[in-house]
């Protein structure tokens, strides 16, 4: 799962939102120095990643995507799933998408002092560019894949990501709907436990 799904699964708990959102951007030493109140978000992030990797629907989809993206099939699936969540938002949330995104941005801004200084400008740019809305557009998907491709150390195949998304949209959507309710239940159980 990528940013949108991680934030959605944090269920508006501000500390969980912050931990879940920033975990992949931070170094291990930064996480260790972070206030303990964000630990639930860090742990939720790791739980989501582990659950996603083990779910049978995603194992099947990664097998379908591997010929296109090889070792980056899981990365592609994460980005595609954010797109599919956005396209099916009303099935999973009673909150409108614009209200959801503005709520997330407000949480980031109100916790700015907790964001490591090297990441503050990055987060500000993400908010200014309305990155959550961009993820649910084809143009935003193309931008995200292009950005990932520039940072990758190996050949990704991401130049054909939009073509593959359109080709496999039915399979991706079907498998997302098999997976995401289970993921929601697991995250909810963690947050309430």
What are the residue ranges of helices labelled H in 93-137? Answer: 97-110, 117-128, 131-135
Determine if residue 35 is left, alpha or beta; phi over 0 gives left, psi from -120 to 50 gives alpha, anything else beta: beta
Here the tokens at position 185 are: 């239940």
Report pLDDT for 11. 86
Instruction: List the chain residues with pLDDT less than 70.
Output: 1
pLDDT digits (tens, 9 = 90+) for 55-88: 999 999 999 999 999 999 999 999 999 999 999 9
Rounded to two decimals, what is the model's pTM?
0.92
| Residue-range domain boundaries for the chain | 3-22+37-192
Report pLDDT for 31. 85
Residue 139 CB neighbour total at 10 angstroms: 9
Here the tokens at position 31 are: 């996480």
Report pLDDT for 189. 92
pLDDT digits (tens, 9 = 90+) for 132-154: 998 899 999 999 899 888 888 88
Exposure of 89 by Cβ count < 10 A (0-12 exposed, 13-18 middle, 19+ buried)?
A: middle
């Amino acid at each position: 799962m990528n940013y949108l799904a991680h934030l959605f699964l944090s269920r508006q708990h501000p500390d969980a939102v912050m931990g879940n959102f920033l975990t992949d951007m931070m170094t291990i030493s930064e996480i260790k120095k972070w206030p303990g109140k964000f630990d639930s978000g860090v742990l939720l992030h790791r739980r989501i990643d582990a659950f996603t990797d083990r779910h049978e629907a995603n194992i099947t989809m990664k097998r379908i995507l591997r010929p296109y993206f090889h070792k980056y099939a899981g990365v592609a699936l994460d980005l595609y799933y954010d797109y599919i969540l956005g396209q099916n938002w009303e099935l999973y949330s009673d909150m409108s998408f614009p209200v959801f995104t503005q709520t997330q941005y407000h949480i980031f801004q109100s916790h700015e002092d907790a964001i490591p200084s090297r990441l503050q400008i990055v987060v500000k740019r993400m908010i200014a560019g309305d990155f959550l809305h961009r993820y649910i557009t084809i143009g935003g998907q193309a931008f995200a894949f292009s950005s990932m491709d520039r940072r990758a150390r190996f050949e990704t195949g991401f130049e054909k990501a939009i073509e593959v998304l359109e080709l496999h949209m039915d399979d991706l959507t079907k498998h997302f709907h098999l997976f995401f309710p289970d993921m929601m239940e697991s995250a909810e159980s963690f947050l309430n436990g």
